[in-house]
Amino acid sequence: MKIESGLPSFGATRGACGVGALIDLNGRKTHKLVEDGLRILCNLDHRGARGAEEKTGDGAGILLQKPHEFFHSEIPTLGDFDSYGVGQLFV
């Protein structure tokens, strides 16, 4: 993988069923980035990594930065940003 300007180049890479990445080079957090990420996810439906039935997905999703300010407002004793993790589990 060749890296130019601090960003990876996937030009000759094979094997990924579908990958989309969005960033704001100025570090801004915007709703448009989330909307665009969801649009990418919808457009990757062709990957074929579905379950045995049409209604089950393959677990593909979107990764977002955790909303530390919101969590801290709900749990005032919460530590610093790097002192905890958040997960979502489907059983």
Strand stretches in the chain, DSSP E: 2-4, 7-9
Give me the catalytic one of 7, 8, 10, 17.
17
Could you tell me which residues come within 8 angstroms of residue 40 by beta carbon, excluding any fewer than 6 positions away? 20, 22
17 is annotated as an active-site residue: yes
Query: Rounded to whole angstroms, how far apart are CA atoms 39 and 22?
Result: 11
Active centre residues (catalytic): 17
